[in-house]
Amino acid sequence: MDTPIGSRLRDIRLRLGVSQRQLARVSGVANATISQIEAGKLNPTVSLLKKVLDGIPISMSEFFADDVEYTERIFFRANELTEIADGGVSYRQVGAKLHNKAIQLLKERYQPGAGTGRHELRHEGEECGLILSGRLEVTVSDQVAILTAGDAYYFRSDQPHQFRNSGSEPCELISACTPPSF
């Protein structure tokens, strides 16, 4: 995806005939915040962008996917993984459009200090992950753990959760979510 997040959000919102105020009302995100995102004055965290997109509704993978015709694929080269985040967090997804799929597999990378944002994530399903390198602080409800290479997590994702790289080096992990939520 070469289009900035704000422009893409505005284009999708307008294509669907949704006003900023309507989107603010259904997503629970302030109209001024949506305006700042669309104007390119605010780069949203993963959790904030997900909250906005839930109001459309559109998944993060659909939001970040290039507008190409979807064909069923089996194999994906490293350079063909779909990037569905921006900034200090990278989510590289296997496959592009997962609306009829049962699982979402991601290679995630968090830069030092980066995370999913101050808004907790919460969605249907389950998710798990395996830390490949670095440190990841995982918060699920009132439980917090610092995970390092070889450590893993698994939880029901309807529980409020957040992720943050609390280390000084990038953190990489492989995660799965069912059903796909981004």
Same domain for 113 and 156, yes or no, is: yes
Domain count, the chain: 2
Q: Which residue is listed with tokens 């989107």? A: 23
Global pTM reads 0.66
Residue 132 sits at φ, ψ, to 5 deg, of -95, -40
Lookup: tokens for 118: 């101050």
| 44 and 82 part of one domain | no
Q: Kindly list the distances between the CA atom of residue 133 and the CA atoms of 16, 104, 112, 149, 170, in Å, as whole numbers in the listed order.
A: 41, 21, 12, 5, 8
Residues 60, 83 share a domain = no
Q: Do residues 169 and 94 share a domain?
A: yes
For 60, the token pair is: 């993060």
The answer to whether the beta carbons of residues 51 and 27 sit under 8 Å apart is: yes
pLDDT digits (tens, 9 = 90+) for 98-151: 766 789 999 999 999 999 988 899 998 999 999 999 999 999 999 999 999 999
* Chain-centre distance for alpha carbon 142: 22
- pLDDT digits over 13-38, tens only? 887 777 898 898 888 999 999 999 99
